[in-house]
Structure 1
Amino acid sequence: MAADDDGSPTRDAADTPLPRVLCDTAELLSLGGDAPGGALWRLAEAGRQLDANVVRVPPGGRVGTHTEPDLDVLLLVLDGEAALVRADGERPLRAGALTWLPHGSARGIAAGPNGVTYLTVHRRRPGMRIQPPDAADRLRPGG
């Protein structure tokens, strides 16, 4: 989607990054039911501290219930309806609903009859790091 001018990183003379337009969500939403399922847009700028995605879940589709152990996530419904699946049941979401998904919480999304498109934003995950050979032991049951 649209970025400033030619899409190249925008910097001033001191090599300081400048704010810029990254995506026109109205244009993404104009695809309506013709939009494919999955990520329609991803934040991919170098040096960023955040990750963000615009995701489309087609009618009746689901994002399975899972637990994010490390990251809080903000989810903003841009279009459509869905159910937020929580440990204590489902909560309805519609366009405009801004939802906090705290780390450690179990959550899933069940799209409504017309599907749902939403924006997620969270702190960027650190890259893969070389670990000592015994580091994997902490990931094993009883480790």
Structure 2
Amino acid sequence: MAEPHQEPSRPTPSTAPVPRLLHDTRTLAGLDSARTGALWRLAEPGRQLDANLVHLPPHGAIDRHVEPDLDVLLLVVSGDGTLTTAQERQPLTEGCLAWLPRGSGRSLAAGADGMTYLTVHRRRPGMRILGPAAPGAAPPS
């Protein structure tokens, strides 16, 4: 006799994740303009997304790079700057939303007042630690 079909378990109201406010980004965007790097990171357990609020100081830059695996959304929260791709230079101002498709080369440069922006992308899978390879085994792909 065949086993009856069972529906996958769903979170009950008491165990389901609850939407909530994480931060007021206006308080971070107004910090010391010389401060550089991530001002805030999404760190909630069990999340499927990663997000970072990043600040570039006046005339600061992120050199050309390629993200091979992930599409990224970039939202300028304050300040201004330039997105440079292989095809063109695009001005970025407060409120601009840019899509950075995986495999695309790009660089960012902040304007005279610096630039603070939010990036959002799918979370990278965790790193795996592999045991020693057997003699003569092919390297992992």
Band of TM-score, shorter chain: 0.7 to 0.9
Q: Going by fraction, where is helix more abundant, 1 or 2? A: 1
**Equivalences for residues 100-139 of structure 1 within 5 A:** 100-131=99-130, 133=133, 134-135=139-140
Amino acid at match of 2:116: T
Shift of 1:27: 1.1
Q: Which consecutive segments of 4 or more residues in structure 1 shift more than 4 A?
A: none
SS at match of 1:26: helix
SS at match of 1:111: strand
Counterpart of 1:6? none
Counterpart of 1:18? 18
CA RMSD of aligned residues (A): 1.7
* Identity within the alignment, %: 56
Which structure has the larger Rg over C-alpha atoms? 2
List gaps (5 residues or longer) in structure 1.
1-11, 139-143
Give the TM-score of the pair, scaled to structure 2.
0.82
Q: Return the alpha-carbon distance in structure 1 between the equivalents of residues 62 and 26 of structure 2.
A: 23
Amino acid at match of 2:58: P
SS at match of 2:23: coil
Q: Return the alpha-carbon distance in structure 2 between the equivalents of residues 61 and 28 of structure 1.
A: 18
**Equivalences for residues 1-143 of structure 1 within 5 A:** 14-31=14-31, 33=33, 36-131=35-130, 133=133, 134-135=139-140
Amino acid at match of 1:118: Y
Give the TM-score of the pair, scaled to structure 1.
0.81
> How many residues are treated as equivalent by the alignment?
124
List gaps (5 residues or longer) in structure 2.
1-11, 134-138
